[in-house]
Amino acid sequence: MNSLVVPSSHRSIMLMASVGFASLMALGLLSLSSSQGSSSSSKRRTSRRKQSKRRPKVHLRGLYNLGNTCFLNSTLQSLASLSSFNLYVEQCVELLSEGNGDSVDAGIVIQLKEVLDQLEPYDSRVKALSPRNLISSLSYKGQWIASRNEQDAQELFQMLSSTLQAVARKADGSLLGVLNTNQPIGNSFISTNQQQHQTADDRQNKDRRSSNAAPENPLLGMAASRTACVRCGYIEAIRHSTFDNLSLTVPRAHITTIEECLAMYTAMDRLDDFCCRHCSIVATLARIKRDLAEHKAHLAKSDWPSKKTKRIVAQLSEQQHMLEEALANNPEAELKGIELSRPPPSTSTRQTMIARPPKILALHLSRSIYLPTGGTAKNPACVQLERLLDISPFTTTGHISTIASAPISGPSLSASRYPKESLAEVRRRNCLYRLNAVVVHSGAHDSGHFYAYRRIETDPDADPLLGSSDQWFMISDTSAVEVPLDTVLGAGNGYLVFYERI
């Protein structure tokens, strides 16, 4: 086979052509790579722009610390995140515009609304706000607010709540005035579903209310308490009382959960020094019968019975009848003129559960530890929170147990044991809540700093079960920084926790 021989001059031309072609190829590849990189970068920028359209940038206004007023700043930021609370404040201000606006309570409510309105989210950065006017109004009701000493966030919350209730109570003297006293209002069972216990007359009366009727307080819920004697099985009348927040004792543990704190609040306690009224009536009746038998025997033996003895026999017979009637019908009935015997102390059970859940569930995590020396310390336990909280295990279910050793009601399934599609049933029973704000305390029992975590809704049409439109911020006085949800749930040192029903 003959090999092809190329002249040297031709070889030089071919080599230059080959190098030139390779250079052009290299330039083409580089251009192609640059084009692909530019396209990818453009796609990322477009994706970020789309994401920014889905979740607009939110800015929150801080509050100036006017001298240890972090307890006020954190509480106000938390309350500003509660839509039903803001509506309630607005309705109270509307009532004041119709009259009764010249009072200390009215001044507080008006200043409160002004601050809450300015704590709404903004689409651009805004300067911090001074709550000086609100502090001035509050100081007329409690001078401790204006002092520069460290104060308690829960005490402030209760002052604001009671002030709003007082304003609403002036506008309506109906049942709301009774509910606001935080006293037992009756012995009947009240369902967790507010529609179940309304009669036709109740609904008609509600429809006939005028536009200036007192607004519904979203903080008010109702608790049911029961005390029962283990010895005789007697159960005292179920007592219902209202609450605007629940104070939960934090267990002495390294890590606990908000559900465990609620379980401790609704747990059935056993008391060993209980004085049962039913047992007292039984013991008194036995004593009356003995005395009556002795006096009747004395009358039988005496030929000339005295009027005094006859009068005692008649009195004892009447008392015996009253005691027997009380045992048969109502042991709680008043027994005039009868001194009840005190039997040996018995064991009793006592339990409190939620009978009517409020729109806003405000939870105070009590961290005080009382030392043997008489002092107090702070319980540093880490309380883990849940974004969605199902309180149905801690509520009455519609059936009240009459067994002293059994719980008042339930148990019902918790949200974790419900199939996902059955969460709608939990919502129907008014028992499903979403975390909205947390007031956190860092430091020791008598000193430290309050700050808040606050949820912002960026899409009101989003499904609240998913939480896809939620943005969370940590707000410490004038500073507001966006944080992930996990930071909020794992903060651990919460002091006031606000859940809103969904």
Residue 12 phi, psi (nearest 5): -65, -40
**Residue 157 banded pLDDT, cuts 50, 70, 90:** very high
Beta strand 255-257 with 382-384: parallel, antiparallel or unpaired? parallel
Q: Give the C-alpha distances (Å, rounded to integers) separating 75 from 283, 382, 490, 498.
A: 53, 20, 20, 10
- CA–chain centroid gap for 123, Å, is 30
What pLDDT, on the 0 to 100 scale, is given for residue 388?
94
pLDDT at 188 over 50: no
Instruction: Indicate the pLDDT class of residue 55, thresholds 50, 70 and 90.
Output: low
- pLDDT tens readout for residues 396-444: 876 667 677 777 776 544 444 445 446 666 666 678 999 999 999 999 8
pLDDT of residue 135: 94
Alpha-carbon span 501 to 361, nearest angstrom: 8
Length reported for the chain: 502
Residue 181 has a pLDDT of 43
Structure-block tokens of residue 134: 């609100």
CA distance 297 to 282: 23
For the cut 50, the answer to whether the pLDDT of residue 235 exceeds it is yes
Of the given ranges (24-28, 57-61, 474-478), which has the lowest mean pLDDT?
Answer: 24-28
Omega before 372 within 30 of 0, i.e. cis = no
What is the Cα–Cα distance from 261 to 163, expressed in whole angstroms?
28
Residues with Cβ within 8 Å of residue 408, at least 6 apart in sequence? 224, 226, 238, 351, 353, 396, 400, 401
Average pLDDT over residues 182-199: 43
Q: What is the pLDDT of residues 258-301, one digit of tens each?
A: 999 999 999 988 888 888 999 999 999 999 999 999 999 888 88
Q: What is the 3-state secondary structure (H, E, C) of 11-48?
A: HHHHHHHHHHHHHHHHHHHHHHHHHHHHHHHHHHHHHH
Top pLDDT among 388 and 175 is at: 388
pLDDT the model gives residue 120: 94
The confidence score (pLDDT) of residue 25 equals: 45
Q: What was the pLDDT predicted at 425?
A: 63
Which residue in this structure is represented by tokens 């295990």? 393
Q: Which residue has the higher pLDDT, 138 or 212?
A: 138
Opening angle at CA 89, ends 259 and 439, nearest 5 = 35
Going from N- to C-terminal start, the domains of the chain cover 70-195+216-276+346-501, 277-328
State the pLDDT at residue 138.
94
Q: Kindly report which listed range (173-177, 268-272, 355-359, 416-420) carries the lowest average pLDDT score.
A: 173-177
> For residue range 365-379, what is the model confidence (pLDDT) as tens digits?
999 998 888 888 999
- Confidence bin at 189 (pLDDT 50/70/90): very low
CA pair distance 486, 474, nearest whole angstrom: 12
Q: Average pLDDT of 246-263? A: 95
pLDDT of residue 405: 72
In percent, how much of the chain has pLDDT > 90?
50
Spatial separation of the C-alpha atoms in residues 487 and 500, rounded to whole Å: 20
pLDDT for 127: 95
Lowest mean pLDDT among 12-21, 307-316, 349-358: 12-21
Q: Please give the CATH superfamily to which domain 70-195+216-276+346-501 belongs.
A: Cysteine proteinases (3.90.70.10)
- Rounded Cα–Cα distance for residues 348 and 277 (Å): 12
Task: Evaluate whether 44 touches 52 at the Cβ level (below 8 Å).
Answer: no
**C-alpha closest to that of 437 among 362, 376, 373, 365:** 362
Q: Which residues, including other chains, have CB under 8 Å from residue 450's CB and lie 6 or more apart?
A: 70, 71, 73, 74, 75, 153, 439, 440, 441, 495
Q: Could you identify the residue written with the tokens 């045992």?
A: 327
99-118 average pLDDT score: 88
> What mean pLDDT value characterizes the chain?
81
Q: Is the pLDDT of residue 76 over 90?
A: yes
In the chain, % helix, strand, coil (3-state, to 5) comes to 40, 20, 40
- Rg (the chain; Cα; Å): 35
